[in-house]
A = this chain, B = another copy of it.
Amino acid sequence: MPEISSTIDLVAGFQVAGVHAGLKKDGALDFSLVLSEVNCVTAGVFTRNKVKAAPVLLDMEKLAQNPEEIRAVATNTVSANACTGKIGLENARSTAAMVAAELSLSAEQVLVMSTGVIGTHLPMDKIARGVELASTGLGLDWRATAAAIMTTDTRPKLGSVQVETARGSYRIAGIVKGAGMIAPNMATMLSVIVTDAGLNLADAQDALRRAAQQSFNRIVVDGDTSTNDTVLMLSNGMSGVSVSTDDELGEFQDALDALTRYLAQEVVRDGEGVTKFVTLDVVNAASEVDAERIGQTIGASVLTKSAFYGSDANWGRIVAAAGRAGAAFDPDNTSLWVAAGEASSVEGRGLQIFGGGMPTDYQEADAAAIMAQPSIMFTLDCGIGECHATIWTCDISHEYISINGDYRS
């Protein structure tokens, strides 16, 4: 298993900056830039929502036309630049053009991302200030860069992995923002991943799609899907290590999978008002799609999430959610275990609380002691197939309602 670091050292050829452009009121970092010295092969996955923000539409267009000459990604917070019409699209283009002008690039080489409130226009004077500050402040402060893409996130989320090969070593690193509005079955929240390994475009796109499917697409905070979700992966090859054979690609995929899983889990841990981190391991389902659907339905159930919050081992709500997931499911073949901790720390499956269509004769006090922990893992054995999927989710708290009742005001 590749070892993930929670910091980012040099990734050859990449520089970054996170600055205060004046978008946030409290002086917090709010605008960021990621720059590569040389052209990058760039892959992207985007929200499947039919309401797509201007930066999403623009990046999709650029990656369709010019995916092998990308140099920079600029990200603003506070305004999502979604539902902003032609002006919004012009503002997204202007942002890219300003970055290009500052860094002597062409506008086609600059991608943009936005996060924040839907329906407000970008304040272009502040964006211009952010572009200027970030362009002149480039360095290696990835933590500040991760902080500068945060909205209601409580902490910067970043990670990296180094891959040693006989041909030399390369790195993959990423930053992510999440908090609320994280959902299954879509691209994901904002994330920029960079690597100094060299990949061709088809391999990069394939690797990113696979990685997102087993990480960002398997987390559930609230079941909502944003208009802005974007994951970009920029590969500049400056480590001198190229990744092209099946073995090399397999090694790269393992590292990228581990990194994206780490980043995705960080998003759940930092979800709005989250007090519990919950791993749902759905095993022996009829298909992987079924396993994923069952896990996501459980993870998105407000009733189940309320029970997590209340430290209630409410297997009834879990089994009932599985029963309405639209997947092959038979409660009489199903078993459910609960354990404290997560996949990496749990030995076996823990305490069995359901089997053969009925609760086991477990002691409620034993289950309550497990449920009181900050990290809980459920194993749901569907008993009808051989496929599995792991979903990471969280509880829903009073705090979540407060954050989202008040967010715009």
Q: Are A358 and B83 in contact (CB under 8 A)?
A: yes
Q: Are B225 and A119 in contact (CB under 8 A)?
A: no
- With a cutoff of 8 Å between Cβ atoms, the chain B residues found around residue A117 in the complex are 316
Interface status of A124 (Cβ within 8 A of chain B): no
**A70-99 contacts to B (CB < 8 Å):** 80, 82-85, 88
Of the stretches A24-32, A43-51, A206-214, A260-268, the one at the interface is: A43-51
- With a cutoff of 8 Å between Cβ atoms, the chain B residues found around residue A354 in the complex are 83, 119
Q: How far is the CB of A46 from chain B (nearest CB, A)?
A: 13
How many A residues touch B, CB cutoff 8 Å?
63
Interface status of A306 (Cβ within 8 A of chain B): yes
Q: Are A401 and B309 in contact (CB under 8 A)?
A: yes
Of the stretches A137-145, A281-289, A319-327, the one at the interface is: A319-327
Residue of B nearest to A316 (CB): B118
Q: How far is the CB of A277 from chain B (nearest CB, A)?
A: 17
Q: Are A408 and B306 in contact (CB under 8 A)?
A: no
Interface status of A409 (Cβ within 8 A of chain B): yes
Interface status of A312 (Cβ within 8 A of chain B): yes
Interface status of A167 (Cβ within 8 A of chain B): no
Interface status of A317 (Cβ within 8 A of chain B): yes
Q: Are A83 and B331 in contact (CB under 8 A)?
A: yes
- With a cutoff of 8 Å between Cβ atoms, the chain B residues found around residue A80 in the complex are 316
Q: How far is the CB of A406 from chain B (nearest CB, A)?
A: 6
Contacts A51-B331, A119-B359, A398-B398 given: A222-B302 contact, CB under 8 Å?
Answer: yes
Specify how many copies of this chain sit in the oligomer. 2
**A322-363 contacts to B (CB < 8 Å):** 322-324, 329-331, 354, 356-359
Choice from B312, B330, B357, B401 contacting A401 with Cβ under 8 Å: B401
Give A83 to B401 CA distance when docked, in angstroms: 31
- With a cutoff of 8 Å between Cβ atoms, the chain B residues found around residue A180 in the complex are 303
Interface status of A239 (Cβ within 8 A of chain B): no
Interface status of A199 (Cβ within 8 A of chain B): no
Contacts A303-B180, A400-B306 given: A83-B319 contact, CB under 8 Å?
Answer: yes
Contacts A82-B316, A312-B409, A320-B226 given: A181-B303 contact, CB under 8 Å?
Answer: yes
Interface status of A223 (Cβ within 8 A of chain B): yes
Give A356 to B83 CA distance when docked, in angstroms: 9
Contacts A49-B320, A50-B324 given: A406-B118 contact, CB under 8 Å?
Answer: no
The 10 closest A-B pairs by CB, nearest first: A118-B316, A310-B405, A51-B323, A306-B404, A50-B323, A225-B324, A49-B323, A85-B358, A119-B359, A224-B303
> Which residues of A line the B interface, CB within 8 A?
48-51, 80, 82-85, 88, 117-119, 180-181, 183, 186, 222-227, 300-303, 306-307, 309-310, 312, 314-317, 319-324, 329-331, 354, 356-359, 396-398, 400-409
